[in-house]
Chain A
Amino acid sequence: MEILNAFLVLANFVLIPAITYGSQLALGALGVTMIYGILRFSNFAHGDSMAVGTMVAILLTWWFQSMGITAGPLPTALLALPFAIVVTIGVLLGTDRLVFRFYRRQKAKPIILVMASLGVMFVYNGLVRFVLGPDEHRFADGDRFIISVPDFKALTGLPEGVAIRTTQGITVITAVIVVAALFWFLGRTRTGKSMRAYSDNEDLALLSGINPERVVMYTWMIVAGLITIAGVLYGLDKSFKPFTYFQLLLPIFASAIVGGLGSPLGAIAGGFIIAFSEVTITYAWKRVLTYALPDELAPSGLVQLLSTDYKFAVSFMILVIVLLFRPTGIFRGKSV
């Protein structure tokens, strides 16, 4: 019984939040990894592109809400999502046309592209703050819980409850669908195969008649889809704030590098590794341990390894360890 209670507390405060956060990171890291694999640079504008996509979704959500259109028990933002993706695709393709294409044609060093992406990052950041302001926005509506703690307790008669929020459920389901669709696309379709071929060996792909500009275009479109979904899910689950999205850059990059840059499977694994480490290291284990351990061993303190203010330090430390011991990542991504 005690062990069951310990597990329920663990599920409620560690497993479910970490799985949700991990799904969001994985979607973000997939975008980073795809840009890295095809365009061959680390896109620093990634976090702020997420913010742009989410901003569009929020504006559309408000518009729908003002017209009285809602998705019933689900958040209205889900209805806005497809339209937001279309707009984000436009924004990213426009940016590529105005900024990145020039350096690609010049065959500039990757670091120049990274720098340009830094410029893009600040333009996006300024744009978002200009439109929505620097403050926090919550745009989740509909039912809050799939199952709440009192419901769970009533249902099972257990002393500890597990709550699953609607946004958490939606996040995981969406992430599974998106990842499945992406892998099907990369593995089965002609375009997907040409993208993988281009990523593996650019010259060989060009020789076999693959049009690089088309590959790049599809990459940006997929990335736009991924980041808008990731951004909206994160915003629904927590809240939208431009600076938070900029800060997400670090865990997202860490996820992509831990898994191996350029490897989609690695990005997903990396996302969950980072999310689970972050949540377990910053969680106060007192309640779980009180249940799990015999009374005489019960902890007196909070048993929190690091305060939540340092959650970015966790992704950073994992990043450092991976760079020191296995710079190509777990799934052996692209060259170092």
Chain B
Amino acid sequence: MSETLKNTLLFATVAALIILTGFVQSWNSALFIINMGLISAIMALGVNLQWGFAGLFNVGVMGFVALGGLAVVLVSMPPVGDAWAAGGAQVLIGLALGAATIAGGILTYQKMAPGRSRTLALIGVLGLGFFVFRYVFDAGVEAIEGVNSAGTGYLGGLGLPVLLAWPVGGLLAAGAAWFIGKTALGLRSDYLAIATLGIAEIIIAVLKNEDWLSRGVKNVSGLPRPVPYEIELQRDPDFVARAEGLGLDPVIASSLYSKMGYALLFLVVLLIVLWLAQRALHSPWGRMMRAIRDNEVAAEAMGKDVTARHLQVFILGSAICGVAGAMMTTLDGQLTPSSYQPLRFTFLVWVMVIVGGSGNNLGSVLGGFLIWFLWVQVEPIGHSLMSVITYGLADDNALRQHLLESAAHMRLLTMGLILLLVLRFSPRGLIPEK
């Protein structure tokens, strides 16, 4: 079987699975799988850029995805005028003071001669700066969070078109990646993993606790949408007439219509990212990346700056994850910081890349769709499996009840097992690297 044929068959199988969902369950769930599959494919492409091209192990995908989500709020929500008036300037000044403190610390470290006086000066600058920062910043935060805390209680965004948030999400993620890469790249490969794990947890902690920025656990809902609202479509007589012409219920038709709108937008982004990734893979830059991945010492001997190239590809990959995160929050229509789970946003993407075939962009796209499909379907399957296993037990049996309740946790086990099995028996994945 030729390679093209095999790949076509693989993609056709996944497409058939999704179409089957459409017939068996509903077209709404099929479109949901497609939309999230498109986003997952983009995330997988980002991770593949880091792992497949360069061999960098990023365990903080969740953090970059969440930063993308934050970008949607910051760009698209209307600004809260009262909150800005109450403490906006003060918070900005506070943040500027914080940044100045860090800059001052770096300057002190670089300009002064090593020794005890430098250590003392450094501690002095950082300590004093921190207290000034907290003094200015805290008062501002309190003022902002005091403004209608049940309704807003945060600064809001810039009120710009929501699509603009997607590249901004990429930029935010790139910034965080730069910081992590600067610290952990060039050291042992596991250090990057630990550092990314840490930054992801911290980003989530910031989103949950900094109410002035993201409303914290109160969530930001009602984000602007790039596609028409279902309710407006249902009120539009033209749309209702056309839906009925197709023999569809207008309510279902409107939901399908807006989901398809999202799917088209996501598809455009996926195609752009895929095209860029393919070009990168086949360019001299891509060859250099793989050369570095396969033998760092040899590449370094050839005059390649390994750490700088790693930093570059790490930032690029994280930025793609940020874009995907912004797209996902746009699709959800709300930012829910407590919904970011490492399993769902870091680990699942990893399974996608490994199963699809690390180093192969098409493999990542395939993995994105396939694993997302399984992720959605494993829970109902697990639940029915448990029902079958415990069939002989009475309904009020404690063991049966416990097993049925725990079926939700089957996902962790299943995904862990899939990763271990693929890594062991088919480490090159479904569509291996050429």
Contacts and interface: CB of A to CB of B under 8 A. Distances in A.
A319 interface: yes
A122 B189 contact: no
A169 B202 CA distance: 32
Interface residues of B, number: 43
A111 B55 contact: yes
A249 interface: yes
Interface string A15-49: 00000000000000000000000000110100000
B373 interface: no
Interface stretch (A83-91, A156-164, A303-311): A303-311
A114 B188 CA distance: 12
Nearest to A249: B197
B205 A310 contact: yes
Interface in B177-215: 183-184, 187-191, 193-195, 197-199, 201-202, 205, 208-209
A17 B415 CA distance: 37
Contacts of B406: 129-131, 133
A320 B413 contact: no
A312 B419 contact: no
Nearest to B57: A111
Interface string A92-116: 0000000100100000011110111
B405 interface: yes
Nearest to A325: B109
A118 B409 contact: no
A102 B427 CA distance: 13
Interface in B377-417: 405-406, 409-417
Contacts, number: 130
Contacts of B415: 122
Contacts of A127: 413
Contacts of B411: 126
Contact of A309 (B59, B199, B209, B410): B209
Most central of B55, B134, B201, B411 by chain A CB within 10 Å: B201
Contacts of A134: 409
Contact of A320 (B59, B195, B208, B423): B195
A120 to B, nearest CB: 7
Interface residues of A, number: 49
A310 B209 contact: yes
B410 A42 contact: no
Contacts of B417: 119, 123
A324 interface: yes
Given A111-B57, A126-B409, A130-B409, 19 more contacts: A44-B197, A99-B420, A114-B193, A115-B57, A119-B423, A122-B416, A123-B412, A123-B417, A125-B416, A129-B406, A131-B406, A134-B409, A249-B197, A253-B197, A307-B209, A313-B202, A316-B195, A327-B187, A336-B188
Interface of A: 41-42, 44, 99, 102, 109-112, 114-116, 118-127, 129-131, 133-134, 246-247, 249-250, 253-254, 257, 305, 307, 309-310, 312-313, 315-316, 319-320, 323-324, 327, 335-336
